[in-house]
Structure 1
Amino acid sequence: MNETSDFLAKNQIDRLDRWLASQLTDFSRSRIQKLIEQGSVKINDQICPTKNKIVKPGDRIYVIIPEAEISELQAENIPLDILYEDDHLLILNKPAGLVVHPAAGHPAGTLVNALLAHCPLAEIGGVQRPGIVHRLDKDTTGAIAIAKTDQAYQHLQAQLKAKTARREYLGVVYGSPKTESGIIDQPIGRHLVDRKKMAVMLEEKKGRLAVTHWRVEERLGNYTLIHFQLETGRTHQIRVHSAYMGHPIVADPVYSSGHKIGVNLPGQALHAWRLSLEHPISRQMIQVTAPLPPHFVTLLEVLRRRVALPASSI
């Protein structure tokens, strides 16, 4: 069954394809232009055949999104590092390089494929992402919660929406922040030029609310170990906000400026360190800590040796 999206334009004049790209942040500009060409976009009940149409305040835009071709998911025997498990909930320590769910370019070999071989999963997460309550980027490591039942999925989703679940990360950034802590409250949306990237949108209406709390854990010369806490969960949020404040995550292939650090890393030095949530059935608080992966530990050891600092207690 096709999906539909219905929008009412407010206080913004822009070209149709650009305007839709700011609203449908999971779609590339080229995908949106193709929908327009296919006659899948209406403005005020009239099919709009051109991407150059100007959207004005008060216009109603209706988009028909064709149903994606869904391939049958296959269970795969991929090892899982389990931190917590019961009949309703599973918390894993995700390694770098593992995509969370099948998508374009990654039809198999994902965390979902591994989970299907391990246990039943909640069905309401979607055909291609059963049980997935929240996501981690491919090369971000650490704690991720999986719902085994629909009841658990709904409860965990509600916690994330209400901001009662606590997601804490550790990341190594370039440079040394001038203060010991802070809050980055800047909306994030799809980059206006490079649609594979996200960006801080200085015009708030073009982005979605994104709030990141941070504090310095350890200063390591021209690098800093930072503790991040998410208040919202936008795509690439910590990576985008870190770059925005002038201290991108070390080895981030998308948002750093290509600094060399002399340590072989599989991707950005960002780790989902601790996850705290209410159990969806017992209502007891669960706090799970994911050990730092070896490459992250090695990075810290190298940086500490360079500045002759004692080891952190983390």
Structure 2
Amino acid sequence: MEQENTKISLNIDEDNASKRLDLYLYQQYPCYSRTFFKNLIEDKLLSINGKIIDKPSYITKNEDLIQFSFPKLKPLIESNMDNIRDLNLDVRVLYTHQDFLIVYKPANLTVHKPSTNSKEITLVDWLVCHFKELEKVGDLERPGIVHRLDKDTSGILIIPRNNQAHIVFSNMFKERKIEKTYIAVVKGHPMSSSDFNKIDKKIRRDIAQRNKMAADYTTGRDSVTYYKVQKYLTDASVLEVKPITGRTHQIRVHLSSINHPIIGDELYGSKSKLISRQALHAYRLSFNYKDIDYVFWYDIPSDMKTIIDQL
């Protein structure tokens, strides 16, 4: 990651001409997100050939001179760090490696702030409070984060502790070299077999409801989810779920698309009297790092155990 207030000058050559400006910058500095550069441009903090440019969609031209500075790091939290330490967020560090952490995130905790103006306390706030080195790892907006869980999904996450590890784990997720396994409690009785069942439907943004995703066979990004029935309940089922791709709300929208929404998922199903959030838990991660195989897991929390007992 570049140091804050570092002044950058980039000369566009023929190979990099005819590219979207935000995409070009992201390709040059992959430790930052494309959204970071989009915001930097829209905030009028970048010039091309001496003229301020505020359109991320600007198409680069041969011999363009791009100039900008990486902004000064803003405090991730406005309140005192000690106050964060004292909060009972129920975050747990399950494993500590010199290059990464494995942490448990409870339900009702957002991984990172949805916007720079948000005052919501997040997992990132807690992590930076306890592991100061994470503040300059990866993206300024979400330091140390290479994958996410929805706010109301519980489970385990990998947190890289340095920029080299951040790049390695980011690439491992892109290349699908990290296996993620979830436990979900769904309505009804999905088809059962000795092997995993496959859901192969594209996922796109819902046209009518922009905070929601939709699944079909024709439009959207390729998305694959495997599931296996672990247990049939009276009118519900416990599933083991393995998403191969990593689309927004993928497991939730895929299971809803086969008419077996996750219990408690108000966005893709309906509210439940038995649980206050979607009954979805990321319980296992497995990967190879520096020629060593790692497998981590964390049992389902008490609220999911309770509904399994009651259904």
Q: TM-score, normalised by structure 2?
A: 0.72
What secondary structure is seen at the aligned counterpart in 1 of 2:296? strand
Change (3 A) 1:94 1:43: closer
* In 2: Cα distance, 1:268 partner to 1:283 partner: 36
- 1:55-70 matches, within 5 Å, as none
- The 5 A counterparts of 1:120-159 are 120-121=133-134, 123-159=136-172
> 2:114 matched to which residue of 1?
103
1:293 to 298, 301, 307: 301
The alpha carbon displacement at 1:139 in A equals 0.5
* Structure 1 counterpart of 2:130: 118
Q: Corresponding residue for 2:205? A: 190
RMSD: 2.9
- For residues 136 and 252 of structure 1, what CA distance do their matches in structure 2 show? 14
Aligned counterpart for 2:280 among listed residues 233, 253, 270: 270
Structure 2 CA distance for partners of 1:68 and 1:299, relative to 1, 3 Å: farther
CA apart distance, 1:40: 4.0
Structure 1 residue 97 displacement after superposition: 0.4
What is the CA-CA distance between 1:283 and the residue it aligns to?
2.8
In 2, Cα distance between equivalents of 1:287 and 1:178: 28
1:86 corresponds to which residue?
A: 97
Higher relative contact order (CA 8 A, sep 6+): 1
TM-fit CA distance, 1:99: 0.2
Identity in percent: 33
| Matching of residues 241-280 of structure 1 within 5 Å | 241-258=254-271, 260=272, 262-263=273-274, 265-279=275-289
> Hey, which bits of structure 1, 4+ residues long, moved more than 2 A?
1-6, 38-45, 67-72, 104-108, 122-125, 178-181, 201-204
**Which residue of structure 1 aligns with residue 243 of structure 2?**
230
In the alignment, is residue 73 of structure 1 matched against residue 90 of structure 2?
Answer: no
Distance 1:44 1:146, change over 3 A: closer
Q: Indicate the SS of the match to 1:121.
A: helix
Whether contact under 8 Å (1:183, 1:214) holds in the other structure is yes
- Deviation, structure 1 residue 201: 4.2
Asked if the contact 1:91–1:146 (Cα under 8 Å) also holds between the matched residues in 2, the reply is yes
Q: Is the counterpart of residue 175 in structure 1 residue 188 in structure 2?
A: yes
Give 1:149 shift: 0.8
TM-score (norm 1): 0.71
2:42 maps to what in 1? none
Question: Paired residues, what number?
Answer: 247
Q: What SS does the aligned partner of 1:212 have? A: strand
My pick for the range that moved more, 294-303 or 267-276, is: 294-303
Aligned partner letter, 1:294: S
Task: Give the aligned partner of residue 14 of structure 1.
Answer: none
Shift in alpha-carbon separation, 1:270–1:73, aligned structure 2, 3 A? same
| Corresponding residue SS for 1:142 | strand
CA drift of 1:115 comes to 0.3
Superposed CA deviations along residues 88-120 of structure 1, whole A, max 9, x for unmatched, are: 111111101000001137433100000011112
